[in-house]
């Protein structure tokens, strides 16, 4: 089971004097609009509750005014909650005194802002070490850490430049480096890439995912962009008008939206960006092992109506594919062991890779795609039919016919497959 590092319960924020009036009105079931009209108080967020697992990217999204940034700022009490609890790594931070809160912010969380928040009179290096400087870390130690982090985010050689000399993407890299240099366990990112041009924004998203693989931070990421949420989020929380509507994985959100509000967000989304190889793969059967011979391979192919079969070793590690032509040729040559046959090698992919990244390869290959784990063990098989079925089953607006045409192999490849008695494993 995943370890929960953040637990939020009954979180409410009321803006204005005497918020108890609003709390009493909320308890009576009055709406945000009614409370504003009757009391002049604004309910920023109402009864928000969720958990964040250690090491996950948890995305909070919604339209402007939905309360997403208010939620984020409550997590480190830059905004004081009116009611509710926020338990981070076993500590209810709503109960911390000023000195304890300051230490918590310095050691446990780091924040990355939309507008970079760089000090213009400081160099890149000086901006990066700022948090450690406040903590009283020695100059040598903080600069050594900062230089390593700047290299990690692609800013090696820019240490002595000033913010005015940087592009928008580079400024945001400095902001990210500053947060990472503090070595905080939790990163709070408030619309961190929203001010960037689309291409740079996509680069920064890729950069964040790459860094996450290396550093495994817990990240709470705020955005209003669904594509960004789907790309980055392990789970996504949808807010509407200060209330939580739905929490789920990208696939859960797009497949089973909680209401029309969420459905409107996800309508027309390209599901190939969300589905992974693991979502569309078939069970890897039938299989043969290296100790089997060409006669066994031919019998298996005949039984299952296929023109090729995957070959694995005793540890189920992928060795290759034997085709019907290769098996017939080996049998006629008197070969009895697959170790003596040159196996074919089709495309392979890891199970967490998005299907979108594999569509072109699947379309061009006459052999099925293997899904393997970190030890190259075969865990699944992908063929064009299973990809189309998965996309069609969860995307009402997706034109399956167009997709099928786009993924059809060239005529020459189809003809080759046909000469083998049908396309391999399809």
Domains, the chain, with CATH or none: 4-269 (3.40.50.300), 277-419 (3.10.580.10)
pLDDT tens for residues 184-223? 889 999 988 887 788 888 888 888 888 888 888 999 999 9
d(C-alpha 220, C-alpha 228), whole Å: 13
Helix (H) or strand (E) run with residue 9 in it: strand 4-15
pTM tops 0.75: no
CA angle 243, 245, 247 (to 5 degrees): 120
**Residue count of the chain:** 426
Residue range 86-102: average pLDDT? 94
| pLDDT value at 170 more than 60 | yes
Beta strand pairing status for 4-15 and 42-53? antiparallel
d(C-alpha 198, C-alpha 410), whole Å: 34
In the predicted model, what is the mean pLDDT of the chain?
83
Cis before 273 (ω within 30): no
| pLDDT value at 412 more than 80 | no
Does residue 148 sit in helix, strand or coil? Answer: helix
pLDDT tens for residues 249-290? 988 888 889 998 888 888 767 666 667 788 778 888 889 988
| pLDDT value at 389 more than 70 | no
d(C-alpha 296, C-alpha 299), whole Å: 5
Query: What is the separation of C-alpha 417 from the centre of its chain, rounded to a whole number of angstroms?
Result: 36
CB-based contact 339:290 (threshold 8 Å)? yes
Beta strand pairing status for 186-190 and 109-112? parallel
Beta bridge partner(s), residue 410: none
Instruction: Say what the pLDDT of residue 243 is.
Output: 94
């Amino acid at each position: 089971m995943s370890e929960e590092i953040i637990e939020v319960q009954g979180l409410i924020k009321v803006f204005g004097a005497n918020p108890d009036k609003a709390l009493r009105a909320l308890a009576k079931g009055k709406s945000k609009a009614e409370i504003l009209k009757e009391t002049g108080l604004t309910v920023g967020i109402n009864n928000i509750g969720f958990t964040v697992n250690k090491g996950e990217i948890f995305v909070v999204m919604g339209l402007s005014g939905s309360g997403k940034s208010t939620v984020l700022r409550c997590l480190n009490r830059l905004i004081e909650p009116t009611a509710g609890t926020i338990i981070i790594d076993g500590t209810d931070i709503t109960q911390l005194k000023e000195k304890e809160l300051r230490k918590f912010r310095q050691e446990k969380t780091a924040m990355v802002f939309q507008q970079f928040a760089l000090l213009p009179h400081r160099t890149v290096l000086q901006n990066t070490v700022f948090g450690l400087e406040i903590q009283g870390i020695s100059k040598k130690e903080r600069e050594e850490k900062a230089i390593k982090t700047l290299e990690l985010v692609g800013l090696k050689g820019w240490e002595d430049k000033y913010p005015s000399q940087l592009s928008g993407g580079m400024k945001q890299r400095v902001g990210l480096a500053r947060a990472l240099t503090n070595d905080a366990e939790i990163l709070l990112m408030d619309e961190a890439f929203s001010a960037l041009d689309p291409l740079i924004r996509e680069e920064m998203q890729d950069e964040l995912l790459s860094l996450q693989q290396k550093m495994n931070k817990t990240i709470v990421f705020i955005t209003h962009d669904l594509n960004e949420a789907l790309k980055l989020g392990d789970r996504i929380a949808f807010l509407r008008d200060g209330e939580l509507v739905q929490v789920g994985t990208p696939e859960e959100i797009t497949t089973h939206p909680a209401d029309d509000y969420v459905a409107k967000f996800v309508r027309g989304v390209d599901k190939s960006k969300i589905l992974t190889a693991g979502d569309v793969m078939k069970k890897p059967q039938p299989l043969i092992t290296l100790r089997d011979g060409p006669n066994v391979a031919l019998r298996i192919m005949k039984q299952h109506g296929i023109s090729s079969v995957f070959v694995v070793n005793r540890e189920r590690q992928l060795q290759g594919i034997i085709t019907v032509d290769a098996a017939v040729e080996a049998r006629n040559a008197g070969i009895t062991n697959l170790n003596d046959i040159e196996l074919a090698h089709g495309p392979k992919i890891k199970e967490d890779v998005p299907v979108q990244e594999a569509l072109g390869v699947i379309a061009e290959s006459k052999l099925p795609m293997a899904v393997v784990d970190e030890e190259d063990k075969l865990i699944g098989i992908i063929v064009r039919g299973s990809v189309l079925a998965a996309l069609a089953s969860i995307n009402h607006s997706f034109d399956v016919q167009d997709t099928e045409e786009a993924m059809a192999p060239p005529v020459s490849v189809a003809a080759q497959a046909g000469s083998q008695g049908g396309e391999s494993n399809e």
